Amino acid sequence: MKNIIRYKNYFGTLILAIAALSSCKKNFLDRPPEDAVSDVNFYQTDDQVRAATSLLYSEVWFDYNDKAMYNLGDFRGGSAFSAWNDRGNVMFNTTGDNGENGASWRAFYNVVAQANLTMNNINTIAGSAVSASVKKTSIAEARFMRALAYRYLVMNWGEVPIIENNTKQLFDTSIRRATVPSIWRFITNEMRAAAADLPEASAQVGRVTKWSAEAMLARFYLTRAGVGSAGGSRNQQYLDSAKYYAADVIANSGKKLLDSYEQLFKYPYDNNSESLFELEWVFSGPNVWGTANSMPEYLAYSPDISFGGWGGDKGATWWMLSQYDGFALQADGTLKGRTVDQRLHASFMLPGFSYPEITKVSDKTKLIFPFTGTDNNFLSVKKYVIGSPIDLAGIAAQQHYPNDTYMMRLAELYLIYAEAVIGNNASTTDATAVAYFNAVHQRAGLPAYEVAGTNGSGPLTLDKVWSERYKEFAMEGMTWYDLVSLHYWNPQKAYSVINAQDRGLFFAKPDQMPTPTLWTFTKTSWFSERQVVANDGNFLLPIPNAELAQAPNLKAPAVDYK
């Protein structure tokens, strides 16, 4: 079995953890038993090389998926919160000693290390029977993963070291951090190289393709357009590149939006027509660690609907709730109303929401989210929560779920296109941009956004596109990175969004149960930790202290990479 490198800390001791698969629902994740292979003789056939790269779709991302995805993307971004746990990211006061900070840092460098090792092994020990096409594709897969990992690193910690060869560089504590513009140049070039070498259609469902890489390039260029910008404007060349790649994927990839948003998260949804890249998880028994999806356990509000259910204090923030059309702020400070936006039901649970795909363990009935509390409760997380032991008997266990994690969906390309067209303007009336926005908007069950006419709302604005992104990708680890992208070119706007967010307790009350027609939301008066103060001094995460102790040169000024 191919070894997987995990960090104890970045410049410290390496721990080799061997992961074995006994059975698999995804063919390309099948690998020989541990005692049949070693690194030196493993890369001798096309199938063995493909088996080695299968790690890049699951185990190497496990620590990111376990907690870092929602801790950074949603808690730090403000779309969700935990009332009693993970408070460093929720309250924007994460320190260098914070455990989740260190775990997140190691998670991304674990991806980098495994991608580097895979490329090195293919280049140095692959046998003569391995075809040139498989070598090229496999190296492109590794470059894709490495570039994406560095995207997360630079957007969370800013200036970080770039490691391309772990064998030569891992214990070199004199390595300097790279500047942010040079990191973006590096990862964009890496993804372009991956796009050039990946096939348009993969022989194995779930593997990345040219279209996966082009989708990432659209995302990268939209963000990179703001890097180093001055005066609140973005680089037009990069905006045009984002538009180009988004349009190419939309028009030529063969991907299409699912008809129903809720179907995106009703298991089995893996590798559907909308997915461009996802982490591939399999249930291989309750004792195999690293191959299954552990995240649903931290999100499910109760063991009544899961195998563990540790997410009872997690849920949507007041700010997130206010993004949905139909909830209006009242004179007394409450929010009141209802929404036809299907994304709320698929992302968070309101009292009275019904989920027939989930069976309660306690009484074997289908889940209707209960109405509890007197002055506070939680709009618990639904997204990625797929069922109880009754629903998943034989294919799941505690912290071992079979459902995949989306890393790129076609819907994002539609919204990237719309934002790239708006670019440095306040709004647009471009027909294609509005149509692409509406493809996402109307799929959620909302009426078409009309620029003109009797019911017209005027030109499509950046604020409208951003709000659409918040709702479309809530609990997919996206909100924080949208705000970092904004911060690159308009930091004051990013601070104003974050500092206006309410991240405190509130009470959700339905007008009737079990079939509510509207809800009233009231802030909990005694809960004081409602808002954060984001500024230039705390916007990015601090490099973990354990890493600084191992490599003091990380404190030195950053240098351009190559």
pLDDT, tens digit (0-9, with 9 covering 90-100), for 393-431? 999 999 999 999 999 999 999 999 999 999 999 999 999
Q: Which two tokens stand for residue 239?
A: 């905006």
Which residue type does 504 have? G
% of the chain at pLDDT higher than 90 = 87
Structure confidence at residue 119 (pLDDT): 95
Confidence of residue 492 (pLDDT cuts 50, 70, 90): very high
Interacting residues of 285 by C-beta distance below 8 A, sequence separation 6+: 22, 23, 397, 400
Instruction: Burial-class residue 123 by CB neighbours within 10 Å (0-12, 13-18, 19+).
Output: exposed
Range 114-119 average pLDDT = 94
Strands (E), 384-471: 405-409, 427-428, 460-461
Distance CA 208, CA 211 (A): 8
pTM of the predicted model as reported, rounded to 2 decimal places: 0.93
Over residues 13-25, the pLDDT tens digits come to 222 222 322 233 4
> Around 125, how many Cα atoms within 13 Å sit in the side-chain half-sphere?
14
Report the number of secondary-structure helices (H) and strands (E) in the chain.
20, 14
Range 379-395 average pLDDT = 97
Structure confidence at residue 11 (pLDDT): 37
Structure confidence at residue 18 (pLDDT): 26
Confidence of residue 41 (pLDDT cuts 50, 70, 90): confident
**Widest distance between CA atoms in the chain:** 74
Pairing, β 405-409 against β 275-279:
antiparallel
Structure confidence at residue 349 (pLDDT): 98
Distance CA 121, CA 49 (A): 9
Q: Which two tokens stand for residue 335?
A: 């929010």
SS3 108: helix
Distance CA 347, CA 407 (A): 16
Over residues 251-271, the pLDDT tens digits come to 999 999 999 999 999 999 999
Confidence of residue 31 (pLDDT cuts 50, 70, 90): very low
Distance CA 177, CA 552 (A): 11
Residues in a beta bridge with 522: 507
